[in-house]
Structure 1
Amino acid sequence: MKRSSRARIGATAAVSVLSLALVTGCGGGSDDDAKESGSSKEAGASSAASSAPAAKAHSAAELEKLLLAKGDVAGYDVDPGDDTLPKAKSAVKADKSACAPLAYALSGLPPADTDASANNTVTSQTSTPSPGEADIEDAFNVDMTIVGLSSYEGDGAEKAVKAVSDGIAACSGGFGIAAEGENLKITKVAAGKASGKGDQSVAFAVNSDMDGEGTATFNVDVVRVGSTVSTYYTVDFASLGSGKAATVPAAVLDAQVTKLK
């Protein structure tokens, strides 16, 4: 059994399906993307203004090739065919339209409206279980990062980043997500420290209610390189429920941004 599968099984035994709704692929989201709702100060964002014309958008097929692949990041496995990840946005519903870009970023989906997208999972190689090993604790010794790529025509990529940035302020008090018939409650959203990578970046942290079993904190990074936006959301199964925030591994983010340049 692959480590990523063992991690999911172990996590399911420890936490409710609500707290894993985003981790295991929520199923897809709404085509009712959040509309731009006026201008607001970008929270937690780092940008590098460019006078160059907007780059042409990549196709979905091109984005698949730009995703991290096996051997791209030392110490990590890449699962390009992970069928737990959402392929569309029709089943991910945020109860506040301004929060939809955040919900999509948590699911590896495009923060804004585009048909050009791709995603996969990148899993740490910190655990090397022997065949037939039954120690369930070992299944938690892993972190899994959902990486999403989306590409846009014109200034669509800049607008996608802005939609995320605007959502951080608008959704600070939390919001709800409905996915696969389950409901997930985000109790708090706060600006994070942007990576400063690419042409523009923004970061945020969410607190998620674990069905009465405490709160889990997750950090999300969003980076724009030209016409392409990459999103990163990591689950550290070992620390899930401990109160320790799960952070996006710098090696994963750096490798993906480099591949997009």
Structure 2
Amino acid sequence: MRATVLRRTVAATAAAASLALALTACSSDGDAKPKGEDPASASASAAPDVKALPAAQLEKLVVEQADLKGYQVQKAKAAEVVTAGDVGADKPACEPLAEIMSSAAAGDPGSSAQRKAIEVRKDTSASPDDIMGALGAPVTSVTLGSYGGEGAVKTFAALKDAGTACAGGFQVTSSGTKTKVSKVAPESVTAGEEALAWTVTSDLDGEPFVSKLVVFRKGNTLASFSTISFSGTVKALPKFVIDAQAAKLG
């Protein structure tokens, strides 16, 4: 699964490198506060009679380029969209984790939306070392899922249980590609009404591949974030991206 995701992001990461080399000045304000919007209905309470948001409305709530200065934001192409049905795990309890690791909305959402946010490194030049550094910039897949009734609450609970049950590792199958996850370690994060985060260590061609995984719930919407790097190691949670998405959800 990680190999598949990595292959899908190489071209996008290369595009980010080109953007960084051409528009270095534009990335200098990457620490600016994320652009917020008026609170939307995504903040509605997850009551039994709540319906999932229409896909068109969810598309308006997912982060865009204007929300993430210092990043290149791309809408997922049809060939890149992964659903829960494309993902499996050798341990049933681990399937929710496998799904958000694969950039799918966990469980059975009524609608979903996906974006890819590629960090544009500051102070880049045309030297080979700087180009490779840009290629190693973190790439965060952002996925929103809207659920009817208590679906968001129950799916979040399943993810919480998975973080414990799957700490020692499991095997993921995503779009036919199998990947061994050796460790799932919890991290601290604050967002939405409740949030979870993990450092995930996978085996990619015999080498450790370290990524970050975050999910938070706002009403009947789950926002999940899967961050990887061409370098093979992600050191920090994508806090700026998380905060920007939380602001849009209200």
TM bucket (normalised to shorter chain) is 0.7 to 0.9
- Aligned partner letter, 1:205: T
Secondary structure of the residue aligned to 2:80 is coil
Partner of 1:45: none
Partner of 2:205: 211
Partner of 2:19: none
The answer to whether residue 246 in structure 2 is matched with residue 251 in structure 1 is no
Query: CA offsets per residue over residues 133-192 of structure 1, 9 Å max, x none?
Result: 987625524211000100111211111111100001111221111223321000111222
| Aligned with residue 125 of structure 1, among 108, 114, 120 | 120
Partner of 2:186: 191
Once residues 229 and 115 of structure 1 are traced to their aligned partners in structure 2, the CA distance between those partners, rounded to angstroms, is 11
**Paired residues of 1:77 and 1:125 also in contact (CA < 8 A):** yes
Q: More deviation in 153-162 or 89-98?
A: 89-98
Gaps of 5+ in 2: 10-44
Once residues 8 and 84 of structure 2 are traced to their aligned partners in structure 1, the CA distance between those partners, rounded to angstroms, is 11
- In the TM superposition, what is the alpha-carbon distance from 1:53 to its structure 2 partner? 6.0
Secondary structure of the residue aligned to 2:142 is strand
CA distance 1:98–1:142, shift in 2 (3 Å): same
The answer to whether residue 155 in structure 2 is matched with residue 160 in structure 1 is yes
Secondary structure of the residue aligned to 1:189 is strand
Partner of 1:20: 3
Q: Which stretches of structure 1, 4 residues or more, deviate above 4 A after TM superposition?
A: 127-130, 133-136
CA distance 1:143–1:223, shift in 2 (3 Å): same
Partner of 2:29: none
CA distance 1:23–1:147, shift in 2 (3 Å): farther
Once residues 162 and 205 of structure 2 are traced to their aligned partners in structure 1, the CA distance between those partners, rounded to angstroms, is 24
Query: CA offsets per residue over residues 183-237 of structure 1, 9 Å max, x none?
Result: 10001112221x221111111221101221x212222111111110000111132
- In the TM superposition, what is the alpha-carbon distance from 1:97 to its structure 2 partner? 1.0
**Paired residues of 1:165 and 1:202 also in contact (CA < 8 A):** yes
The answer to whether residue 164 in structure 2 is matched with residue 169 in structure 1 is yes
Partner of 1:228: 221
Partner of 1:89: 84
Gaps of 5+ in 1: 1-17, 27-51
- In the TM superposition, what is the alpha-carbon distance from 1:83 to its structure 2 partner? 4.4
- In the TM superposition, what is the alpha-carbon distance from 1:60 to its structure 2 partner? 1.9
Query: CA offsets per residue over residues 57-103 of structure 1, 9 Å max, x none?
Result: 21222211211111111101110144453242332221111101001
Q: TM-score, normalised by structure 1?
A: 0.73
CA distance 1:129–1:141, shift in 2 (3 Å): farther
Partner of 2:56: 61
- Aligned partner letter, 1:210: L
Partner of 2:20: none
Q: In the TM superposition, what are the counterparts of 1:19-58 in structure 2 within 5 Å?
A: 19-24=2-7, 54=47, 55-58=50-53
The answer to whether residue 107 in structure 2 is matched with residue 112 in structure 1 is yes
Partner of 2:230: 237
Once residues 146 and 208 of structure 1 are traced to their aligned partners in structure 2, the CA distance between those partners, rounded to angstroms, is 17
**Paired residues of 1:129 and 1:138 also in contact (CA < 8 A):** no
CA distance 1:252–1:96, shift in 2 (3 Å): same
- Aligned partner letter, 2:220: S
Once residues 177 and 100 of structure 1 are traced to their aligned partners in structure 2, the CA distance between those partners, rounded to angstroms, is 8
* Identical-residue share of aligned pairs (%): 34
Alpha-carbon RMSD across the aligned residues, in angstroms, is: 2.6
